Amino acid sequence: MPHSPDFRALATRTAAIIDHILMAAKPDDISVEQPIEHTLAISLKTAKALGLTIPQSVLLRATEVIQ
């Protein structure tokens, strides 16, 4: 069950920051940001092989459920 930042959203934000740098923005004008969007992927096959039961509430929150 990897839980990680949404790399597509990170790439979009990185491109915006690079655009500011290329437009000669002052370092004080560029903010430091933390990822806001995260992804949660669950592999049911692996969970079953490990003898784990994933609650339905967790499955509903997952970004991706792999059969």
Residue-wise pLDDT for 5-57, tens only, equals 888 888 888 898 899 899 998 888 888 888 778 888 899 999 999 999 999 99
Q: What local confidence, expressed as pLDDT, does residue 63 receive?
A: 85
Check residue 34 and give its pLDDT: 80
- The predicted structure's pLDDT at residue 31: 82
CA nearest 25: which of 34, 35, 16?
16
For the chain, where are the E strands, in sequence order? Answer: 3-5, 38-43, 64-66
Question: Which residues, in sequence order, are CB contacts of 54 under 8 Å at separation 6+?
Answer: 42, 44, 47
Which of helix, strand or coil describes residue 66?
strand
Q: How high is the pLDDT of residue 1? A: 66
Question: What is this structure's pTM?
Answer: 0.56
